[in-house]
Structure formats: structure tokens, C-alpha cells
Structure 1
């Protein structure tokens, strides 16, 4: 990977991490368009690690929600909050580890066809999900049951192109949370989820040796994380307001158009590689 490729991919990641359009799917498509070699262990790890850079923007923007403990009552609330995140992330840990151990995850990450198909399928679903699930109840708080079930919805995101953001927000709406509350819990749940995925990738990379840890690759990881962090922070502020006011339909149409164009290109024998 070159520095220019890294910057472009990181911008795409930051823009799409919190949008229900699949940041992983967009990075895979972008890597193909830029001619980045697929199947390379460093490229796979880079895809997950810079997502963690974007996720750190949640901790920055919601700093008080994560760490402010001025008295005993707030301390108890924070312990419950952390407990809800643990419960919510457990299903993804089980499914994610199984997919990674079986080699299914690496295969999915190399499949542009899977990404494009899931963009279309998810897009069609999003055209109707507001009508189906947007029935917030008076109890608009995340409890233990809701956290676990939202975590189960998050497992769908193991398939690139599905979108972790879409799965968890829709899961929250299915549990009668408002769009805003569901989106915020989706942001919070992303922190332990992506932290775990990043840690596993780093462990796997070190197990296979340290030949990848060149000064150039480390520099690319740092640059990618910083850019993704800054861009994601800006995108997240905009997304909450847009989703609360307009819902999912615009994102649904976007997914359908992008996915359909890619499937059409592949079906007609056209290469996605635009830059050699």
C-alpha cells in the first residue's frame, strides 16, 4: 500500500464507519478500485485496525458518558454501562472468533461480490425498516435484555457489506428504542467490538512473525488511524441529526445503487481496478 492509497482508504473509513452503508464493504471496494493487493495479511489487518481509529472518536465525543464519575451514583451508573457493553459484545465475540478460526472471515473480506450483494440486500431492507421498527416505547433505555439482543443483531456484520452500524441501530429499533438512542448505543458498542477485533488482528500478525512491521507499514497504520479518527468525528455528529430527522431511506437507495453498479460491472466482465 502507498501513502496516497492509505489516505484515501482512511477517509472512506471515517466517512462510512457510523453510516449504515458498511465501512468494511466500502474499504474493500476502495482497495479494489485503487489496485491494492487483496489477500495480503497486512491489508486485512489494516482494514480492521483503522476502524478502531475511527471508533476512538466515540470515546472522545462521549467522554463524560464513558469516564465521568463524580460521585457514587455516577460510579454505579458507569459500572452498569460497562456491563451492558460486555453483554452486548459477547455474541459478536463468539461468532467473530468462529468465523475467523474457520477462515470464513478472510474469504469474505476478499469477496467483492459478497460486499455488493449485501449492499443491495441491506439497502432494500432499509427502505422499509423505518416503517417496520420505528415504534419507540416510553421505556427508551437500554437494559440487559436489549443489550444482548442488539449484540445478536451485530453478529450479522461479520458479512462485509451488511454494516455493523445498520445491524445494531435496527436491532435497537426492533427493541423499541428511538433512532437516536439506538444510534448512540450502536456507537458505544462499537468501542469494545472493534477494540477486540483490532487486538486479535495484532496478535495474529505477531504470531506469523514481525516481517510486516516495517517502518513504512507502521507509518501507514498511524496515518490511517489518525485520518479515520478525525473524519469519523465529523461524520458522526452529522449522522445522528440526519438519522433522527430523516431515517434510513436515503442510505437504502445509496446502498442499492452502489451495489447494483458493482454487480453489473462484475457480471459484464469489467474490472473494478481504476488505478494501477
Structure 2
């Protein structure tokens, strides 16, 4: 049984980093190293996936109108913008559909299913996170240097092709440290989608992905859990949800407006600091 304070610390880290392009999984792996917990612990690897669902539920609360509109259950108001409020594009017609979401999530979900054991056994380590932080940061800087004018100013103007491109870029997030939001926002910008619309599409796609990842992870390992482990999971999940809910509105707006270059610099600094830590330890 783990001390519950470990669940609280990792839950806070997840809640604070899920909405920033800095890799929440990477931060949890580095935190795990700092806490002196084995990198090969399968139960804790499942825990890190499950508590991300707590943070994603906070996204669902913010985007609930947009999500329900995909199923035709809510009609969005006719006003411009494509931000976290779930409003529509300039034409007042909701164009984002379930097809866009499916196109965006199928590539990464298929590869995640096929490579799950390899990823868990070989990539959930501080050294691989450092690599992901650096290369992901370079990608984000490259995206900010994109000079072409975006063709999609909000999520309702994202084409099927752009949704596919973003979905393919999202495959990079299977490597811990790349960051799902970092890879997809940068990939969206390189595909002609502006930063805010890329962020919106990223967070909407994350909802089904994390539900699927959590369900699959639990099905794989639930038989090995004890009652103490379940309590450990619940604490981390609840903490992650509460922290994410407190942070989600300001963080999503922050990500929509702030240049990815600044997040890249943070990633480089974190990678350098942790590389030094590993070298000295």
C-alpha cells in the first residue's frame, strides 16, 4: 500500500499540468522519481493514467455544451469565436462533428492499443521524459515560426484533413514528455489551424481518449488491486479533479493565447535541471 500523500502529490501535479503543453504524464513520472518510487511499478503506471481522467472531467464541465452539440442534444448560440465557452464560428453554424473527433482520435488510440505494453515497459522513465520534453519543445518553437495565415480560426472551421493531421501529430504524445496538448496544438498550427482553435480541439479530443485509456488500463490490471489500492486511486482521482477544476478556466485561456515558445523554454529548463539531477544522483 502506498502512503496516501503520494496520491495527493501526484494528483496535484496532474491537475496543474494537464491543461498546459508541458506533459502531465512526464511531470508525474519525474515526480515519481523524486519521491523514490520504482519506475517499473505497473500499478502506479495505471494510477497515472486513471487520475488523468479526473482532470479531463474538468474539461468536460467547461466544454459540456460543445460536447452535447456533437450529438445534437444542444443547439449552440449564434455568435463568433470557438473558445472554451463552446460558442460557434462566425457563420453561426456548428460544423465540428463527431466525424472530426473520430478522425482525430483513431490513429493515436489504435497505436496506443498496439504499443501499450512496450510504452509502459520502456518509455515510462525519467530519461525518456527528458528526451520528449526537448524534442517536443523544438516542435512547439517550429509551430510558432509558421508564417502562413491560419485557414481555421475556430473549431467549426477545422477540415477533415486538418483533423487527421492533428490526430497524426497526436501520436507523438504516446512518448511521455511530448505532451498531448503540446503535440496537437503545435501540429494544428502547422496544419493551418490557429492556436486557440487547436487548443479547443485538443481538449475536446482528450475526453474520449482518456475515458478509453482509463477503461482499458483498469480492465488490464483491476484483478491485482487490493482495497487499499482502490482507496489510493480514489484519492488521486478526486485531488486531480478538484485541482484541475480550479485551474481549468484560466489555464485553457492561457494556453489559447500564450505563445508555445514560452512553454518550450520551460520544457528545456526542466529537462536540463532533471538531467543534472539524474547525473548527480
TM score, norm. by length of structure 1: 0.86
For residues 120 and 79 of structure 1, what CA distance do their matches in structure 2 show? 35
**1:163-202 equivalence runs, <5 A:** 163-202=179-218
Task: Go from structure 1 to structure 2 and tell me whether the alpha carbon gap of 1:257 and 1:239 turns closer, same or farther (over 3 Å shift).
Answer: same
Secondary structure, counterpart of 2:128 in structure 1 = helix
Task: Go from structure 1 to structure 2 and tell me whether the alpha carbon gap of 1:158 and 1:230 turns closer, same or farther (over 3 Å shift).
Answer: same
Aligned pairs, number: 261
Corresponding position: 1:7 with 2:19: no
The residue aligned with 1:21 is 22
The residue aligned with 2:139 is 125
Residues 136 and 183, structure 2, Cα contact 8 Å, conserved in 1: no
**1:126-141 equivalence runs, <5 A:** 126-132=140-146, 135-137=149-151, 140=154, 141=157
Corresponding position: 1:258 with 2:258: no
RMSD over aligned CA atoms reads: 2.4
Task: Go from structure 1 to structure 2 and tell me whether the alpha carbon gap of 1:163 and 1:215 turns closer, same or farther (over 3 Å shift).
Answer: same
Corresponding position: 1:211 with 2:224: yes
Residues 46 and 221, structure 1, Cα contact 8 Å, conserved in 2: yes
For residues 47 and 271 of structure 2, what CA distance do their matches in structure 1 show? 23
For residues 261 and 196 of structure 1, what CA distance do their matches in structure 2 show? 34
Task: Go from structure 1 to structure 2 and tell me whether the alpha carbon gap of 1:211 and 1:95 turns closer, same or farther (over 3 Å shift).
Answer: closer
Deviation, 1:132, is 1.9
For residues 158 and 271 of structure 2, what CA distance do their matches in structure 1 show? 33
The residue aligned with 1:274 is none
For residues 235 and 148 of structure 2, what CA distance do their matches in structure 1 show? 39
Cα shift readout 1:73-109 (whole Å, capped 9, x = no counterpart): 99xx889622221221100122111211xx3211234
For residues 53 and 30 of structure 1, what CA distance do their matches in structure 2 show? 18
Residues 124 and 256, structure 1, Cα contact 8 Å, conserved in 2: no
Residues 12 and 243, structure 2, Cα contact 8 Å, conserved in 1: yes
Residues 14 and 25, structure 2, Cα contact 8 Å, conserved in 1: yes
Deviation, 1:243, is 3.0
Secondary structure, counterpart of 1:238 in structure 2 = helix
Deviation, 1:174, is 1.8
For residues 272 and 148 of structure 2, what CA distance do their matches in structure 1 show? 27
**1:49-68 equivalence runs, <5 A:** 49-68=50-69
TM score, norm. by length of structure 2: 0.85
Runs of 4+ aligned structure 1 residues displaced above 4 Å come to: 77-80
Task: Go from structure 1 to structure 2 and tell me whether the alpha carbon gap of 1:135 and 1:229 turns closer, same or farther (over 3 Å shift).
Answer: farther
Cα shift readout 1:10-65 (whole Å, capped 9, x = no counterpart): 11001111111111100000011011232122111101000111111111111111
Deviates more, 1:110-119 or 1:7-16: 110-119
For residues 113 and 134 of structure 1, what CA distance do their matches in structure 2 show? 35
Task: Go from structure 1 to structure 2 and tell me whether the alpha carbon gap of 1:111 and 1:85 turns closer, same or farther (over 3 Å shift).
Answer: same
The one of 78, 101, 119 aligned to 1:105 = 119
Flag structure 2 segments of 5+ consecutive residues without an equivalent.
79-92
Cα shift readout 1:189-234 (whole Å, capped 9, x = no counterpart): 001111111111011114xxx231x222111111111111122233
The residue aligned with 2:164 is 148
